Amino acid sequence: MLDKKQKRIMIGRRIAEELNDGDFVNLGIGMPTEVANHIPLGVKVYFHTENGMLGVGPAPKPGEEDKDLINAGAGYITETAGASYFDSCLSFAIIRGGHLDMTVLGALQVDQEGNLANWMIPGKLVPGMGGAMDLVTGTKNVIISMEHCDKHGNSKILKKCTLPLTAAHCVNMIVTDMAVMRVTEKGLLLEEIAFWTNVDDVIKATDADLIIPEKVGIFGNQ
Amino acid sequence: MLDKKQKRIMIGRRIAEELNDGDFVNLGIGMPTEVANHIPLGVKVYFHTENGMLGVGPAPKPGEEDKDLINAGAGYITETAGASYFDSCLSFAIIRGGHLDMTVLGALQVDQEGNLANWMIPGKLVPGMGGAMDLVTGTKNVIISMEHCDKHGNSKILKKCTLPLTAAHCVNMIVTDMAVMRVTEKGLLLEEIAFWTNVDDVIKATDADLIIPEKVGIFGNQ
Amino acid sequence: MPKTITAKEAAQMIKPHSRVMFSTFLVVGAAEQLIDALVEENVKDIHMITIATDYDDKGVGKLITNKQIKSVQCSHIGTNRSTQAQMNAGELDVELIPQGTLMERIRAAGAGLGGILTPTGVGTIVEEGKQKFTFDGKDYILEMPIKADFAFIKAQKADKHGNLVYYKTARNSNPAMAMAAKITIVEVDEIVEVGQLDPENVVTPGIFVNYLVKSEVKEC
Amino acid sequence: MPKTITAKEAAQMIKPHSRVMFSTFLVVGAAEQLIDALVEENVKDIHMITIATDYDDKGVGKLITNKQIKSVQCSHIGTNRSTQAQMNAGELDVELIPQGTLMERIRAAGAGLGGILTPTGVGTIVEEGKQKFTFDGKDYILEMPIKADFAFIKAQKADKHGNLVYYKTARNSNPAMAMAAKITIVEVDEIVEVGQLDPENVVTPGIFVNYLVKSEVKEC
């Protein structure tokens, strides 16, 4: 079995393969940020943060933090050459206007129709949606990065989300520690499984109905 | 009788008395620009032009024109200290959002309800409304600067406008070569007459019903 | 031309039931000295408009912890436990708004618009009670302007006409909020003479600014 | 990263029935060399979106004089006699739009909004056929986004990421139009290396820019 860190790296690396040269990308807080560590050679991407910047660079060296230069998760960032700052209105005009090529976000639940729930658990946890609703509504390619099951072993990929939605029919692709799935008009297509598991185990670990193609790819075995 | 230039100066000077220190003002093309030549002593006002600038200065000296520095009438302007440039969206956000204190515009017709027509004569002249509809809708104090009658001697101040409106109930004050009138809830109040005329002649020259107060002021006799 | 006042004078303008916009994104871009002065004045029953409620002991979170806030419109409260606790206890009314929608509603108020149609929130609880429209097969909800009596803004520099520039990601909601309040009060690190800011680089024109408060330099 | 192309290559992208935004305010801020190249290509039946139709022999007016425009959405045609003549002859379809509404409709398209409510035009022929709303006793009309296939933009400087800055009142409709078209082509006086523009002063971020065309220096 993989540990948490290995899973995170495997997922981040696999999502990074979806990047095209010149893409504008917004990475959510937590696991999605791992994607930035695996940009393929020859691919140049530009990172957007919804608090108002394009051209986000990596975290600064300790001691070189600028308290007024943060990403949407309040993490310190740096500025790359060719960066730009703008206000929140323009930042969300970029998002909602369909100008971002990809966003990678975590999820509490995703379902086979591409519905996403990632902003509240009624009666328990209500952090608020922040920019997530805009990001998944506006961005061309919405990729979910998460572990396949929750800490109790329950599938986070459902036939139908039970938590309040972040948006309906918004998810394009789901990458977990077990599988790569694409939301299609016919349903949730199992495109790849992780090197360490098998199709039957993925099906068992998934509440959603999976469409199993003739050939299922393998990922993570680098 | 006054000639065209004298009328223009008298009207401009009278409107300038309405300015308060610190006002943000947009002047329309033509006669309204005369206002800028009569700013009272001790009053500092800031001029806005809807193509995207605050802090418009006077016309440049011949030979010092900058082809990319114009007002909404395509006249060359200058930049004052403390000026700012912005795009057309923000410029009209300023206008429509009620941030300007005063606009001065010409008119084809105004009526006693404060309706204004100044952008087209069907079948004859259709220049388009440009920024006028936004200006009169958004600005706190809308002042009309024009000659009292058209070139055929017909009143331009009507009971009811007959030309397509620029906006309804938008005019606050009308200053002509004959009179200063204010649009009130009860109707059009004759506040002042020009030094060279009398109340009866103003009433005769005006199609609109005028409310005549006990005391009518005199203007223009400086 | 905006008047320069003290943080205390600014805070004293706020009354119970005032609607106040606070620019901040997890404290970055927050007018911290104005917030501190408002904590000091201890005015209650304020309606707060902010992107996030920051932290229990930092940024606008201080006002919540100090129980000065009656209701809040914001998009994120996950970093502030007081907000959630007071919300659950029925002491604080929280309207959660998608961040892009929040910004457009604020901008709409400043720009004199009567509302905007956004696809964000369609198919979620955000659309409840709102008018829906469908154009070209895409659904939108009508969102109304959010106005305020006051905006507490933070800028890096102001000239004496009130023209503002910001610093890096501390810009965030400042420019929109500066437009949308009846009275905009700016906490600013440096006040420069007119003519010292390049007119091309002014982000918020002085027309939106009513008062300037010079930040006190603090020991770090 | 935008590709650098020639004005001719830019003009050749435009096809009959293309919807093209032209930034210009009485020629100031116009991409004049792109316009000239489009006159040269002589593509017909273009739908034009512009603030004003400029002059018969200058700016976007050249395209109208050359009878390349099928329809136009704009706010002012008073400086261009060809526009009015072709309109009266039934050769050119003209939709006149209040300038602030035009800008918000363009911005709405770029910002992914489904429409905006504005008080401008209420009580005039502009409101005809449009949905009306009343809030707090004030009337608004619903105005729809204006999208385009292409925007012909003029900037002073671009870096190689496509970040743009403008010059004085030549900024006008450029930033909004740059956001609202599928393909944005920028005529630019100077192309600088990445890192040469201050990130604080970028007006149009490169994300909105697809192609750059370097202006040819002309004899004055």
Domain residue spans of chain A: 4-214
pLDDT of residue A222: 66
**What is the rounded distance in angstroms from the CA atom of residue B119 to the CA atom of residue D171?**
25
pLDDT > 70? residue A212:
yes
Position B125 scores a pLDDT of 84
- Structurally, at CATH architecture level, domain D3-114+145-214 sits in 3-Layer(aba) Sandwich (3.40)
Q: Residues A59-73: pLDDT tens digits?
A: 999 999 999 999 999
In angstroms, what separates the C-alpha of D218 from chain A's closest C-alpha?
A: 29
The burial class, CB within 10 Å (0-12 / 13-18 / 19+), for B67 is exposed
What are the tens digits of pLDDT across the range B65-83? 999 999 999 999 999 999 9
What integer is the mean pLDDT of D118-125?
98
Mean pLDDT of B21-38: 96
Per-residue pLDDT tens over the stretch A108-155: 999 999 999 999 999 888 899 999 999 999 999 999 999 999 999 999
User: Which of chain C's residues have a Cβ under 8 Å away from the Cβ of A131?
Assistant: 75, 98-100
* Residue A203: Cβ within 10 Å count: 15
Predicted local distance difference test score (pLDDT) of residue C91:
96
Shortest Cα distance from A209 to chain D (angstroms)? 33
Amino acid at A122: P
- pLDDT exceeds cutoff 80 at A220: yes
**DSSP secondary structure letter of residue B129:** -
Q: In this predicted structure, what is the pLDDT of residue A21? A: 97
Residue B182 DSSP label: E
In this complex, the residue of B71, B129, B131 whose CB is nearest that of residue D96 is: B129
* DSSP H or E segment with residue A145: strand A141-145
pLDDT along chain C (220 residues), means of 10: 97 98 98 98 98 97 98 96 94 97 98 98 98 97 98 98 98 98 98 98 98 83
Q: Give domain limits for chain D.
A: 3-114+145-214
ipTM entry: 0.97
Calculate the alpha carbon distances from C218 to A67, B31, C11, C57, C215 in Å: 15, 54, 19, 18, 9
| Residue D5 banded pLDDT, cuts 50, 70, 90 | very high
Per-residue pLDDT band at D137 (split at 50, 70, 90): very high
Give contacts of B99 with chain C, Cβ < 8 Å: 179, 207-208
Give the dihedral sign, CA D78/D84/D87/D88.
positive
Would you call B37 helix, strand, or coil by DSSP?
helix
Mean pLDDT of B84-112: 98
Q: Where are the beta strands (DSSP E) in chain D?
A: 3-4, 19-22, 46-49, 69-74, 93-96, 115-118, 132-135, 138-143, 148-159, 164-165, 181-192, 211-214
Per-residue model confidence (pLDDT) at position A125? 84
Q: Enumerate the residues of chain B whose CB falls inside 8 A of the CB of residue C197.
A: 82
Residue pair A166/A139 in contact (Cβ under 8 Å)? The answer is: no
Tokens of residue B158, six digits: 């009507």
Three-state SS sequence of C176-188: HHHHHEEEEEEEE
Q: What is the pLDDT of residue A175?
A: 98
Helix orientation angle between D99-111 and B88-96, rounded to the nearest 10 degrees: 120
Identify from D104, D106, D107, D116 which residue to disrupt to test chain C contact, counting C C-beta atoms within 10 A and taking the largest count: D116
The pLDDT of residue D219? 57
Using CA coordinates, name the residue in chain D closest to A101. Answer: D207
**With an 8 Å Cβ cutoff, are D100 and B74 in contact?**
no
What single-letter DSSP state applies at residue B127? -
Cβ distance A129 to C175 less than 8 Å, yes or no, reads no
pLDDT of residue D218: 67
Residues from chain C that touch D113, judged by Cβ atoms under 8 A, are 104, 116-118, 140
Q: Are A76 and A59 in contact (CB under 8 A)?
A: yes
- Maximum distance among all alpha carbons in chain C? 58
Q: What count of other Cβ atoms lies within 10 Å of the Cβ of residue B4? A: 10
For residue C116, give how far its alpha carbon lies from the nearest alpha carbon of chain D (Å).
Answer: 4
Contact residues, chain D, for B66 at CB < 8 Å? 168
Strands B173-175 and A53-57 come out as unpaired
**Interface test with chain D among B129, B139, B162, B171, by most D beta carbons within 10 Å:** B129
Confidence grade of residue A221 (pLDDT, cut at 50, 70, 90): confident
Task: Please check whether residue A31 touches C, CB under 8 A.
Answer: no
A104 has a pLDDT exceeding 80: yes
- Mean pLDDT over A100-107 rounds to 98
Among B81, B93, B137, whose Cβ lies nearest the Cβ of C111? B93
- Whether the predicted pLDDT of D161 surpasses 60: yes
Assigned CATH for A4-214: 3.40.1080.10
